[in-house]
């Protein structure tokens, strides 16, 4: 038994230089795996069609990254994938599987379409830039709120009913998709929509512009997506709330023991994740497609899911993975159009990369899933000043935050082996 | 009309029931296979291709089972060590299956042309099918449905009455304890995931050959995910799975019937009806987990 416990203890911290070279090694290995996965998927498909040649590679590269039009399209595609990916990634860092980014993104898009109609309705929207900026801000808020509502529903079910979040999110995806179909076919339908069940186009005052840099149109939404990714990663690694999320994921028992309300963390993390995905829907609608219809999303949420799963723990790897997927999707769409190679090879490439990276590289540092039964918060034994909050009250809030955080983390590390055992025995009837 | 409704409920529930039976056994070992959707998809594809190439239904279903077993094998290899994230592995399997089948069906249709195949007919059980009321509903159905009931009963017997079944369930509670008692938990998990993949493949085959006779890209349309939910609603009890799946089938059959027969066929809220069975499943799952939380709460 002793050896069992030992294997579950966290590995010793490597020295900094070693850690850096290890990270570099790991990064290049992951890049190699991504490249190998792409080749492994594309080569047989190209061979089947009988087109293994340099022109295939050229088509792929020009329409995904090299040509300016292709690059702009890839950057556009990056936006919803990155937003959805950040949602999944954030939840995963809390030990939660948010498979519902698709539904949350669609809810955000639906709220955006409704808000656009609302802004437009009182007879002509003023063409002033300040007002349209405010309107876009309000629309974004509405989208985030809609996504957060869907996420919160999942979070409450997960935290207070012990329902498996993966199953709940999958079912909610299907429900939200049906609601979007109904809304775009009914209340929000464009009467002059050429017979398609889609919404009225976004007026030009509300569209997100593009910025021309060196002959490449860079969508504003792309810059927004990158900054949101940055904020989410920094939030998790630097802020107190992020520390709480990591503590909960590492050891919920220890976190609860130190007075963290794990249930509330779970519910709020899923709600924030939903809001992120909802923003992605707004960015896609206002920045790229301008109309919400049945073919709005080719699975943005699921592509974001794959990006987040490939990124694992690393916040820096997330944009890289999202960009790779955007390149893959655009390039393979061009291959289907021009060379007759089915675009579905991109799904195969993603699958291979996911299994290879999730299965091989993340073996040692696999993120743990939160147990279904969430431990209740217990008051911390010891000084009477602790009132069920993370940090005991003291004079300097900044200092205590870091101190309390360190305590939680070290306690989490200490308790790890034992609580993993006890969670097993707890479930035995 | 009632008979038709129950009939289509059973037809809808059969694939889900098969997949959920496999999943309920797998979940007893403490694993969750989200890749069940892709596994079913591969079964549906292989069964259609086999049938459209002129093979019989039995061969097609066996081929579907083999395809499912292959994906179950991949999942088992990845997951039995306990170090690989099972949700990641499952999603990877979904993507692989989606990409392979959608590319594969285009290639197949380009070379052989598009055509529907015969669906699996009904078999009347000699004596029972003549019973009033119950007979036509329950005893003149597809053989796949009969076998799903048979599998459910066998699984119940296996899990409740045999030592191997006990080891399987114990693996989910304490792998180390099982290892100490002389069994090999990794092998148990691997074999169980191959088995559950096989059942999911058969369920997928029934999607192609049971009602439509065709295969469309992504043709499982979330039925694998539904099987996951049905497993949880049925609390991983094999005998409860066909019941839960049947209840879902009834909800969907009702939604379908309302969609096709209601007077307001063009009304927009018709689009909401497909979500009704999912919503009902979600609500039932919520109620089930509330009551199970009550039961296990310390008094």
Chain B residues closer than 8 Å to A367 by CB: 85
Assess whether pLDDT exceeds 80 at residue B268. no
Residues of A in contact with B282 (CB under 8 A): 168, 171-172, 175
pLDDT > 60? residue A387: no
Residue A51: pLDDT band with limits 50, 70, 90 = low
Q: Among A27-41, B28-42, B279-293, which stretch is predicted with the lowest mean pLDDT?
A: A27-41
Q: Global pTM? A: 0.81
Cα distance between residue A147 and residue A282, in whole Å: 10
| A348 to B99: CB separation less than 8 angstroms, yes or no | yes
Is the predicted pLDDT of residue A403 greater than 60, yes or no? no
Contact A315, A363 (CB under 8 A): no
The alpha-carbon gap from B294 to the nearest alpha carbon of chain A, in Å, equals 10
Q: How confident is the model at residue A57 (pLDDT cuts 50, 70, 90)?
A: confident
pLDDT on residue A268: 92
What is the pLDDT at residue A377?
66
| Interface check A44 vs B, CB under 8 A | no
Residues A310-354: tens digit of each pLDDT: 887 777 888 888 888 888 888 888 888 877 777 777 888 888 888
Lowest mean pLDDT among A78-92, A139-153, A304-318, A359-373: A359-373
Which of A171, A294, A303, A309 is the best mutation test for B, with the most CBs of B within 10 A? A171
What contacts A80, CB < 8 A, 6 or more positions away? A105, A280, A281, A283, A284, A297, A300, A304
Give contacts of A189 with chain B, Cβ < 8 Å.
268
Pick the residue with more confidence: A190 or A16? A190
Give the C-alpha separation, A140 to A384, whole Å.
44
Confidence of residue A366 (pLDDT cuts 50, 70, 90): low
> Which residue in B has a C-alpha nearest to residue A45's C-alpha?
B103
Q: Which residue of A has its CA nearest to B35?
A: A351
- Percent of chain A whose pLDDT exceeds 90: 16
Distance CA A300, CA A292 (A): 14
Distances (CA, A) of B59 to A92, B49, B55: 42, 11, 6
Give tens-digit pLDDT for B144-196: 888 888 888 898 888 888 888 887 787 777 777 777 777 787 888 889 999 99
A296, A289 contact by CB (below 8 A): yes
Pairwise CB contact (< 8 Å): A162 & B84 = no
Residue A82: band (very low, low, confident or very high) from pLDDT cuts 50, 70, 90: very high
Calculate the alpha carbon distances from B62 to A370, B51, B59, B65, B200 in Å: 38, 11, 5, 5, 12
**Range among A44-48, B53-57, B229-233 rated most confident:** B229-233
pLDDT at B211: 77
**Contact between chains at A347 and B95 (C-beta distance less than 8 A):** yes
Close Cβ partners of A259 (under 8 Å, ≥ 6 residues apart): A377, A378, A379, A380, A386, A388, A389, A390
Q: Is A161 on the interface with B (CB under 8 A)?
A: yes
DSSP H/E element including B58: helix B57-79
Residues 6 or more apart whose CB falls under 8 angstroms from that of B34 comprise A99, A166, B86, B87, B90, B91, B94, B225, B228
Q: Does the beta carbon of A166 lie under 8 angstroms from any beta carbon of chain B?
A: yes
In this prediction, residue A424 carries a pLDDT of 36
Angle between helices A240-250 and A262-284 (to 10 degrees): 120
Query: Which chain A residue is nearest to residue B290, measuring alpha carbons?
Result: A161
Of the candidate ranges A73-82, A181-190, B51-60, B127-136, the one whose mean pLDDT is the lowest? B127-136
pLDDT of residue A110: 93
Range with the lowest mean pLDDT among A9-23, A206-220, A229-243, B36-50? A9-23
Residue in chain B closest to A345 (alpha carbons) equals B99
**Residue A15 pLDDT level (bands cut at 50, 70, 90):** low
Lowest mean pLDDT among A140-154, A205-219, B86-100, B192-206: A205-219
pLDDT in tens, A169-195: 988 998 999 899 888 887 778 777 677
Q: Is the dihedral of CA A263, A267, A270, A273 positive or negative?
A: negative
With beta carbons less than 8 A apart as the criterion, state whether A244 and A390 touch. yes
- pLDDT at position B82: 64
Element holding A210 (H helix, E strand): strand A210-213
Report residue A2's pLDDT band, with 50, 70 and 90 as the boundaries.
Answer: very low
pLDDT of residue A52: 67
Report the pLDDT averaged over residues B83-95. Answer: 83
In this prediction, residue A189 carries a pLDDT of: 80
Cβ-Cβ contacts under 8 Å between A and B: the total is 166
Cβ(A291)–Cβ(A203) below 8 Å: no
Contact A98/B at CB under 8 A: no
The shortest CB-CB distance from A358 to any of B84, B270, B292 is to: B84
Nearest to A351 among B92, B176, B267 (CB): B92
Angle (nearest 5°) at CA B236 between A373 and A168 = 55
């Amino acid at each position: 038994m002793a050896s069992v416990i030992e294997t579950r203890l966290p590995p010793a911290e490597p020295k900094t230089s070693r850690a850096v070279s290890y990270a570099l090694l790991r990064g290049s290995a992951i890049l190699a795996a991504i490249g190998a996965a792409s080749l492994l998927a594309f080569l047989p498909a190209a061979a089947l069609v009988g087109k293994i040649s340099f022109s295939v590679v050229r088509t792929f590269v020009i329409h995904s990254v090299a040509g300016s039009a292709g690059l702009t399209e890839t950057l556009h595609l990056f936006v919803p994938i990155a937003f959805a990916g950040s949602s999944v990634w954030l939840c995963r860092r809390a030990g939660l599987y948010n498979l519902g980014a698709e539904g949350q993104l669609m809810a955000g898009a639906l709220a955006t379409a409704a808000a656009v109609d609302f802004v437009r309705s009182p007879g002509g929207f003023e063409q002033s830039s300040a007002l349209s900026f405010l309107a876009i801000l309000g629309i974004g808020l509405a989208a985030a709120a809609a996504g957060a509502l869907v996420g919160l529903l999942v979070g409450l079910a997960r935290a207070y009913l012990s329902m498996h979040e993966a199953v709940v999110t999958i079912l909610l995806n299907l429900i939200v998709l049906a609601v979007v179909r109904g809304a775009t076919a009914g209340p929000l339908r464009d009467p002059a929509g050429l017979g398609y069940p889609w919404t009225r186009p976004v007026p030009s005052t509300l569209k997100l512009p593009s910025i021309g840099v060196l002959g490449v149109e860079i969508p504003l939404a792309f810059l927004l997506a990158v900054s949101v990714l940055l904020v989410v990663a920094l939030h998790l690694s630097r802020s107190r709330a992020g520390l709480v999320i990591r503590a909960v994921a590492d050891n919920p028992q220890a976190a609860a023991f130190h007075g963290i309300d794990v249930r509330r963390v779970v519910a709020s993390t899923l709600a924030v994740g939903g809001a992120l995905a909802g923003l992605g829907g707004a960015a896609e609608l206002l920045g790229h497609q301008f109309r919400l219809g049945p073919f709005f999303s080719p699975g943005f949420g699921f592509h974001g899911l794959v990006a987040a799963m490939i990124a694992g723990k690393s916040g820096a790897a997330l944009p890289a993975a999202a960009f790779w997927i955007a390149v893959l999707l655009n390039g393979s769409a061009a291959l289907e159009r021009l060379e007759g190679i089915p675009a579905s090879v991109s799904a195969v490439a993603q699958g291979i990369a996911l299994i290879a990276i999730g299965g091989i590289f993340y073996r040692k540092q696999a993120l743990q899933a939160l147990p279904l039964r969430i431990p209740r918060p217990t008051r911390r034994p010891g000084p009477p000043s602790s009132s069920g909050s993370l940090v005991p009250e003291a004079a300097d809030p900044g200092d205590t935050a870091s101190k309390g955080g360190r305590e939680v983390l070290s306690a989490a590390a200490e308790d790890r082996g034992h609580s993993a055992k006890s969670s097993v025995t707890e479930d035995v009837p | 009309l009632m008979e038709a409704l129950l009939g289509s409920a059973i037809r809808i529930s059969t694939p889900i029931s098969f997949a959920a039976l496999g999943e309920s056994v797998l979940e007893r070992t403490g694993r969750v296979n989200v890749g069940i959707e892709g596994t079913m998809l591969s079964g549906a594809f292989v069964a259609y291709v086999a049938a459209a190439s002129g093979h019989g239904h039995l061969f097609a279903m066996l081929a579907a089972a083999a395809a499912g077993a292959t994906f179950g094998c991949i999942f088992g290899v990845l997951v039995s060590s306990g170090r690989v994230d099972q949700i990641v592995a499952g999603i990877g399997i979904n993507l692989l299956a989606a990409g392979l089948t959608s590319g594969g069906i285009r290639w197949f249709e380009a070379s052989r042309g598009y055509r529907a195949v015969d669906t699996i007919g009904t078999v009347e059980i000699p004596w029972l099918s003549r019973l009033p009321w119950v007979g036509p509903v329950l005893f003149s159905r597809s053989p796949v449905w009969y076998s799903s009931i048979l599998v459910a009963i066998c699984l119940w017997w296996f899990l409740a009455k045999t030592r191997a079944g006990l080891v399987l369930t114990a693996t989910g509670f304490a792998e180390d304890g099982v290892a100490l008692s002389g069994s090999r938990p990794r092998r148990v998990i691997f074999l169980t995931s191959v088995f559950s993949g096989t059942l999911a493949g058969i369920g997928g085959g029934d999607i192609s050959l049971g009602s439509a006779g065709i295969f469309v890209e992504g043709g499982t349309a979330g039925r694998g995910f539904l099987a996951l939910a049905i497993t949880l609603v049925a609390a991983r009890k094999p005998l409860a799975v066909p019941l839960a799946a049947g209840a879902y089938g009834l909800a969907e059959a009702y939604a379908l019937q309302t969609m096709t027969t209601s007077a307001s066929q063009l009304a927009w809220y018709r689009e909401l009806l497909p979500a009704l069975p999912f919503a009902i499943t979600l609500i039932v799952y919520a109620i089930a987990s509330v009551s199970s939380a009550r039961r296990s709460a310390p008094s």
